[in-house]
Chains A and B, each alone.
Chain A
Amino acid sequence: MRDPRAAIEMATDLHADDIATIDDEATTAASEAALASIREIRSRRKLPRLADPAAPLLAVEDLRTHFKLENGWVKAVDGVSFRLNDGEALGLAGESGCGKTTTALSLVRLLPSNARIRKGSSIKLFGIDLVPRTEEQLRRYRWREVSIVFQGAMNALNPVIRIGDQIAEPIEIRLRESRDRARVRAAELLELVGIPRKRAAAYPHELSGGMRQRAMIAMALACDPAIVIGDEPTTALDVMVQAQILELLERLRRELGLSLVLITHDLSVIAETCDRVLIMYAGKVAEEGPVRRIFAAPRHPYTQKLLGSFPNIHADRRGLETIPGTPPDLRDPPPGCRFHPRCPAAMAVCKEVVPPETVFADGVRVACHLYPPGTDGSRLITAAEVLARGDRRPPPAAGAGAGATIGAGVAPAAADGTMAPGTIGAAPE
């Protein structure tokens, strides 16, 4: 056995080419060229004509995405607001079926045909509202501005097309490059994610699971998008490969200034990768804020329970907590706070009134009756403030005029339409 990699491959279930990418110094030099190439695309990149340079990268306000079934509407996402800044990583966490993926896919409307984004929702990319756009108009934003790393790369890759050609596909059809140039660029992208460029001629089944996921990332970067959505990008991988993929995402974000929306129910992934985290429950925001604050001092009972159900390597050994019950049927969600049937701290008011969103001095936003405005320095948060939040830039204070509260229970009608589009993110002191 001459090649030590062969021994590793036999012993560890890793593909030989994967091992090569771990310790091969050559790929670093090669990926420099790829980086330069991406920067070159970036330098030629034009924002859409309507883009507002002062607007935040992404501002989602009161997003409500519902699915039509035979016996009613499933309110999968029901009034979610958040903001994503340039170069920021936002984690979306929560149980299965709480609306994480639907929220992310709503951005460029890659939803099943029975889904509707309700009136009053707004998704502003560069200040351009994508909700009223037609399917045809939206195509301009798909992949060029918002790309996706799908879960389960084997299914997201066409089994009968060479990997390089699949990565070249968006470059060819969206950036209108020649086939040869697109293929060269695809090979560069593969090197950037640590796959030798000659593997571009391989078919998906000839790659290992980790390499396929890397190829998916390369594909997501093909048109140098502003936002990359990672839809559970590491779920199907073993821990070793998972760590590599996360490291890769982190490196790309640092070097390319990508903005990342990371969907996962693995909180450790978010802790490692993200700046801010948005905890969702039953289609609504439970808690949102800087990762460190939320992981150190979760305020919403759901967040506390969620973190408690997760093993902590630093803490003493203990049994893991569970959250009794299951998430509610979103066709007919419980009145008031949607978490109240499972909440250990539920009060009478929780069953009747939808909790308003309040904000703390440390920047954490919570929707829970345990924190009525005024306690612990918390106060009601305004819609403009939600959209002005972010880690990288200091949040500008909300304008006095934009006083609408988010949280339908308190001021149900006021959340819609009270703000002029120009005030978002640009509110003066």
Chain B
Amino acid sequence: MSAAPPTAPVVSSLRAERWRLRASNARNFARLFTRRSDGVVGAIILLVFTVVAIAPQLFVGPLQTATTATGLHFEPPSDAHVFGTDELGRDLLNLTFHGARISMAIGLLATFITILVGAMIGIVAGFVGGLVDNALMRVTDFFLVLPTFVLALILAPVVLDTIGFDAQLFGIRATLVVIVVVIGVTSWATTARIIRSQTLSIRERMFVDRARAIGSGPGHIMRRHIFPNVVNLIVAQAVLTFATAVFTETTLSYIGLGDPFAPSWGQILNEAQGSGAPGLGAWWYIAPPAICVVLVVVAFTLVGNALDDILNPRGRGRR
């Protein structure tokens, strides 16, 4: 075909223009974001926790166990043990840093499941409508009213029994998988509801008619036209879900559904309670994981709010 040879330079010049615009948009975003001091504070806290979660051994060495413990039991904070030690003599700084990895990994996975299921069901229900919408929404209603703890208590032994206590899924221990599943199962319904309502309004927009006029099928319209328009909602929802997931994980571990060999922050709190730390006045056992949970949740909320203000076009006029 005669048009083929000049295509390559045109393609690269078009690409260059896209990248130029992308870069300018990114600069623009960075400028707006750095103006928000709350967002910046949240981002810094998250950055610190992310680095700690990715490589805790760089800061505190490998995870300490009862046999590799370096201190005496219930040592208050000192120069050798900045956060003190637990009943087995393990350094709490070490445990808290390693706990960051587990808590945040669970939060991330649970968020992923929640958003994936929620967004898919929300978009399909909202776009297809009719009987499908009705059926999906009744299922959603069911999951919406499921109490997290009751479900967790029932699911945990069932899942552990089926996959085996020592089994691993994607390198994650079975008990943690249970927590991920429980959080995912109980929180996707809210996301689905929110995404569906947004889809309902986008479905009526004229560009959807245009897409239909072009001859695209429902799958294509949902992927290419509806999804990009709900992405900002999905991001905002993901941030909120992550904060909730970390919180729920802590709670579930605290009531004893965690994995004793994988000390998440909730697990540390559980062990603190089990060893009688509050009664013994060992505040250093409880404070670090608790403060970490609060910090992460607050940081996510700060970043989420800042992102929402910047990315939501309706909010721009307010500033």
A-side residues, CB < 8 A to B, are 36-37, 40, 108, 110, 139-140, 142-144, 147-148, 150, 152, 155-162, 164, 169-170, 173-174, 180-181, 183-184, 187, 197-198, 200-202, 219
Contact = CB atoms under 8 A, between A and B. Distances in A.
B17 interface: yes
Interface string B207-230: 101111111110010001100110
B215 A160 contact: no
30 contacts: A40-B2, A110-B213, A139-B215, A142-B213, A144-B215, A150-B206, A150-B209, A152-B206, A155-B205, A156-B207, A156-B209, A156-B210, A158-B207, A158-B229, A159-B207, A161-B224, A161-B225, A161-B228, A169-B211, A170-B215, A173-B214, A187-B14, A197-B14, A198-B13, A198-B14, A200-B14, A200-B17, A201-B17, A201-B18, A219-B210
Given A142-B213, A174-B215, A158 B11 contact: no
Contact of B224 (A144, A147, A150, A169): A169
A96 B206 CA distance: 19
Contacts of B66: none
Most buried by A among B10, B210, B229: B210
Contacts of A198: 13-14, 17
Q: Is the interface of B mostly helix, strand, loop or mixed?
A: helix
B3 interface: yes
B14 A183 contact: yes
B7 interface: yes
Nearest to A142: B215
Contacts of B206: 150, 152, 155-156
Given A37-B3, A160-B231, A201-B18, 6 more contacts: A40-B2, A110-B212, A157-B210, A169-B211, A170-B215, A187-B14
A173 B217 CA distance: 10
Contacts of B17: 198, 200-201
Contacts of A158: 207, 211, 225, 228-229
A403 to B, nearest CB: 38
A27 B210 CA distance: 28
Contacts of A40: 1-3
A144 B216 CA distance: 12
Contacts of A108: 213
Given A110-B209, A158-B207, A169 B14 contact: no
A319 to B, nearest CB: 37
Nearest to B19: A201
A233 to B, nearest CB: 13
A164 B1 CA distance: 23
A183 B11 contact: yes
Nearest to B229: A160
Interface of B: 1-3, 7, 10-11, 13-14, 17-18, 20-21, 205-207, 209-217, 220, 224-225, 228-229, 231
Contacts, number: 87
Contacts of A155: 205-207
Contacts of B13: 198
B10 A202 contact: no
Given A158-B229, A161-B228, A180-B11, A148 B215 contact: no
Contact of A148 (B7, B11, B213, B224): B213
Contacts of A180: 7, 11
Contacts of B216: 169, 173
Nearest to B206: A155
B229 to A, nearest CB: 6
A383 B169 CA distance: 73
B88 to A, nearest CB: 54
B213 A159 contact: no
- Nearest first, the 5 closest Cβ-Cβ pairs linking A and B are A142-B215, A155-B206, A139-B215, A158-B207, A160-B228
Given A156-B206, A183-B14, A184-B7, A170 B228 contact: no
B11 A184 contact: yes
| Residue among A162, A198, A202 with the highest chain B CB neighbour number at 10 A | A198
The residue in B212, B220, B231 that gathers the most chain A C-beta atoms within 10 A of its C-beta is: B212
Contacts of B213: 108, 110, 142-143, 147-148
B26 to A, nearest CB: 14
A365 B60 CA distance: 92
B214 A174 contact: yes
A407 to B, nearest CB: 32
A59 to B, nearest CB: 21
B3 to A, nearest CB: 6
A57 B225 CA distance: 32
A396 to B, nearest CB: 33
A213 B14 CA distance: 22
A76 B56 CA distance: 71
Contact of A181 (B7, B20, B210): B7
